[in-house]
């Protein structure tokens, strides 16, 4: 019967000089954990690693004071599968959420996601399978996708960055193998943003289906509609997070007027928020994209519930393209047949991005066969995790 013997927690900076319409990433950081088991392989304990995606600040206080003690103090069998053979992330999730009221899904959801990721890494490592294979066997149809669609999320605002620099950035993404890119809007006025969209399109053969835009929740209804009207002729890949993530009425009104795909969900952190999005935000299953992050919103255990909800409501999992740009979501996308995964080439290091050997071809990327999430294939991040517990 395996047991958790220690959980180490820390914080890494993932700062960057970039900004979107809402925030700068100057002081961004990230919580990381190492969950150490008593199972010894090749002379070393098997350890699960987790971090909290990006875009939210570290959550060490919640981890240290509430969540980690709950896992360490629980009767060991409460964290295991029925037969006691291995850890069960869903049962561990119930332990993490013990004595937590419903609602108020904020930093707590992020903190649960960090440990949830480490537990899935650990379980797949104990089973000696890459996570995408383990997930496909346990929660999918057993046949994971061989590669995952990725798009390059960039086009941030930065000091001194003009249209020429924006175009150079996009050309760089194309050289890396991406065919679809995303740029920010809403950090400038409509006239300037329209110029930025046209500058971007100029290096994408004028093909709007290769360009997404992201307002990061900045707009009120009038502005969202005005931008929608201006963007419509470009027939973009999608128009992302036009208004506040919880303003479902704004979204529903825009969806009535804007015919192209809308994308949202990266700031919705629970099954209930997801249900409300489907109920009230006018989301259209034939074109819209759900970007809920499988880490930020209570981890993969909760994300599996959200996927179940989507299927019951007639949505294809292909309409899910998670926020976050990291290895964990890449496994989930391949195993559960999502539509793809975000990617931020070069940003949010050391946590962001995929295996060091990963190559993007035709906007698709594959996975390695390293057991677990494969952080061992990402040298700088692996070193950060190693430093936590050795």
CA distance 52 to 109: 10
Of 29 and 214, which CB lies nearer to Mg ion in the complex structure?
A: 214
Please list the alpha-helical segments (H only) found in 127-270: 131-139, 163-176, 190-202, 221-231, 248-257
In the structure encoding, which two tokens stand for residue 347, read together?
């940003």
Does the annotation mark 139 as catalytic? no
- Options 49-57, 210-218, 222-230, 252-260: segment touching Mg ion (CB under 5 A): 210-218
- Options 61-69, 85-93, 123-131, 209-217: segment touching Mg ion (CB under 5 A): 209-217
In the structure encoding, which two tokens stand for residue 275, read together?
């249900």
Q: Site size for Mg ion, by CB under 5 A?
A: 1
Please, what is the minimum distance in Å from the beta carbon of residue 323 to Mg ion? 6
Please, what is the minimum distance in Å from the beta carbon of residue 243 to Mg ion? 13
- Options 117-125, 211-219, 274-282, 375-383: segment touching Mg ion (CB under 5 A): 211-219
Please, what is the minimum distance in Å from the beta carbon of residue 100 to Mg ion? 27
CA distance 6 to 3: 9
Buried residues in 199-212 as b, exposed as e (16+ CB within 10 A) = bbbebbeeebebbb
CA distance 174 to 189: 27
Q: Which of 184, 251, 326, 378 is catalytic?
A: 184
Which residues within the stretch 8-67 sit at the binding site for Mg ion (CB under 5 A)? none
Please, what is the minimum distance in Å from the beta carbon of residue 217 to Mg ion? 8
By C-alpha distance, which of 32, 36, 28 is closest to 51? 32
Q: Which residue is nearest to Mg ion (CB)?
A: 214
Question: How crowded is the C-beta side of 332, counted as CA atoms within 13 Å?
Answer: 28
Please, what is the minimum distance in Å from the beta carbon of residue 339 to Mg ion? 15
Q: Which of 251, 323, 331, 337 is catalytic?
A: 323
Please, what is the minimum distance in Å from the beta carbon of residue 54 to Mg ion? 11
- Options 32-40, 202-210, 212-220, 307-315: segment touching Mg ion (CB under 5 A): 212-220
Of 5 and 23, which CB lies nearer to Mg ion in the complex structure?
A: 23
Which residues within the stretch 277-306 sit at the binding site for Mg ion (CB under 5 A)? none
Does the annotation mark 184 as catalytic? yes
Which residues within the stretch 224-243 sit at the binding site for Mg ion (CB under 5 A)? none
CA distance 319 to 289: 5
Please list the alpha-helical segments (H only) found in the chain: 60-62, 68-73, 89-96, 107-126, 131-139, 163-176, 190-202, 221-231, 248-257, 271-280, 299-312, 327-336, 379-389
CA distance 89 to 239: 35
**88, 214, 293, 377: which one contacts Mg ion (CB under 5 A)?**
214
Of 214 and 377, which CB lies nearer to Mg ion in the complex structure?
A: 214
In the structure encoding, which two tokens stand for residue 89, read together?
């992330």
* 23 neighbors 17 (Cβ within 8 angstroms): no
Active site residue ranges: 184, 323
Note the residues at the interface with Mg ion (CB under 5 A): 214
């Amino acid at each position: 019967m395996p047991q958790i013997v220690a959980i180490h927690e820390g914080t890494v900076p993932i700062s960057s000089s970039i900004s979107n319409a809402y925030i700068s990433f100057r002081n961004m950081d990230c919580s990381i954990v190492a969950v150490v088991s008593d199972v010894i392989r090749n002379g070393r304990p098997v350890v699960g690693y987790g971090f909290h995606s990006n875009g939210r600040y570290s959550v060490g206080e919640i981890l240290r004071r509430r969540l980690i003690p709950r896992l360490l103090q629980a009767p060991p069998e409460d964290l295991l599968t029925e037969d006691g053979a291995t850890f069960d992330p869903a049962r561990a999730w119930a332990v993490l959420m013990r004595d937590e009221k419903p609602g108020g899904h904020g930093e707590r959801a992020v903190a649960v996601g960090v440990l949830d990721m480490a537990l899935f890494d650990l379980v797949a490592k104990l089973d000696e399978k890459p996570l995408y294979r383990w997930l496909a066997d346990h929660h999918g149809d057993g046949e994971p996708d061989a590669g995952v669609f990725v798009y390059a999320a960039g086009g941030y605002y930065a000091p001194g960055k003009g249209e020429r620099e924006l175009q150079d950035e996009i050309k760089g993404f194309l050289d890396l193998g991406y065919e679809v890119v995303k740029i920010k809007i809403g950090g400038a006025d409509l006239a300037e943003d329209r110029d930025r969209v046209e500058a971007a399109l100029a290096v994408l053969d004028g093909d709007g289906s290769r360009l997404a835009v992201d307002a990061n929740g900045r707009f009120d209804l009038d502005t969202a509609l005005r931008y929608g009207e201006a963007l419509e002729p470009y027939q973009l890949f999608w128009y992302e997070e036009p208004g506040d993530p919880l303003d479902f009425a704004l979204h529903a009104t825009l969806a009535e007027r804007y015919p192209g795909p809308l994308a949202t969900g990266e700031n919705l952190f629970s099954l209930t928020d997801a249900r409300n999005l489907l109920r009230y935000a006018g989301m259209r299953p034939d074109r819209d994209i759900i970007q809920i992050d499988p880490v930020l919103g209570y981890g993969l255990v909760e994300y599996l519930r959200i996927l179940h909800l989507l299927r019951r409501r007639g949505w294809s999992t292909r309409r899910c393209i998670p926020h976050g740009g990291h290895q964990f979501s890449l496994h989930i996308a391949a195993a559960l047949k999502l539509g793809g995964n975000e990617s931020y080439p070069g940003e949010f290091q050391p946590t962001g991005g995929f295996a060091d050997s990963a190559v993007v071809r035709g906007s698709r990327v594959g996975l390695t066969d390293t057991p677990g999430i494969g952080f061992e294939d990402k040298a700088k991040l692996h070193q950060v995790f190693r430093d936590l517990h050795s």
